Amino acid sequence: MILFPAIDLKEGQCVRLAQGDMDRATVFSDDPAEQARAFERVGFEYLHVVDLDGAFAGAPRNASAVEAILAALTIPVQLGGGIRDMRTLSRWLDQGVARVIIGTAAVKDPSFVREAARLYPGRVAVGVDAKDGCVAVDGWARATRMSALDLGRSFEDAGVSAIIYTDISRDGVLTGLNIDATLALADALTIPVIASGGLASLADVERLLQPDCRKLAGAITGRALYDGRLDPAQALALIRRARAATEDA
């Protein structure tokens, strides 16, 4: 399992939203690149970045901040937010993004996802952002009638590298991951699933390391890191011990 620290970008700053509400943003850093370096220094292996303004606008809005993050790191970065066409997607991959995350366009233009996954195998993920089981788009501002499960299943044969499942109602409010819904999605799909939304403490990391969660490819953590509720050294040590135990077995 990979634990992804999250950097959400709004107007060039690192912020955390509560339940995806742009009016409930807390600024944690004015220097996203330095925040990214701090995450790498402590031992994280992969960074999760979202251009929040881009998600609402439908096109990149924090490009300079993303470029500074890419220049600052040696670990891989996955990026979402405002990636709605092949030109944008290709540009980010060419600039060093390891994996792009397609959210809104996965609902509105599924053929784009399929073509992107064909052209860039292993480098395209789908963001499945759901509230009460139904997918939300356009920066989570608009709900659809499509279920998270139906969206995930629609890409089973597309070659996408991962599904990032976010429970919007839990995102940024530190109530714990929706393990049941995430595992139900992972059970129904062959695509690796990454959990997102609500990770609050070391206890959540311990839960993710239980046998029934071994099917998950990872989890994303944001506010708990910034608030100091989750000690990254402790969390990463737990994960390393779990990996070692699995390898020994």
pLDDT at 139: 75
Q: Cα torsion for 50, 101, 147, 23, to the nearest 10°?
A: 10
Strand 21-29 to strand 47-51: parallel, antiparallel, or no bridges (unpaired)? unpaired
What is the predicted pLDDT for the residue at 173? 65
Hunting for tokens 């708990």 — which residue is that? 224
The catalytic residue among 8, 53, 171, 204 is 8
Which of 232, 247, 241 minimizes the C-alpha distance to 4?
232
Q: Residue length, the chain?
A: 249
Residue carrying structure tokens 């050294």 = 233
User: pLDDT at position 168, please?
Assistant: 86
Pairing of strands 77-80, 99-102: parallel
User: What pLDDT does residue 132 have?
Assistant: 83
Predicted pLDDT of residue 248:
80
What does pTM read for this prediction? Answer: 0.95
**Based on the number of CB atoms within 10 Å of its own CB, is 207 exposed (0-12), middle (13-18) or buried (19 or more)?**
middle
Tokens of 122: 């292993």
- Segments in the chain forming alpha helices (H): 32-42, 52-57, 63-72, 86-94, 104-108, 110-119, 148-153, 179-188, 202-208, 223-227, 232-248
Q: Is 129 a catalytic residue?
A: yes
Residues of the chain with pLDDT under 50: none
- pLDDT computed for residue 34 by the predictor: 98
Considering 51, 53, 129, 167, which one is annotated as catalytic? 129
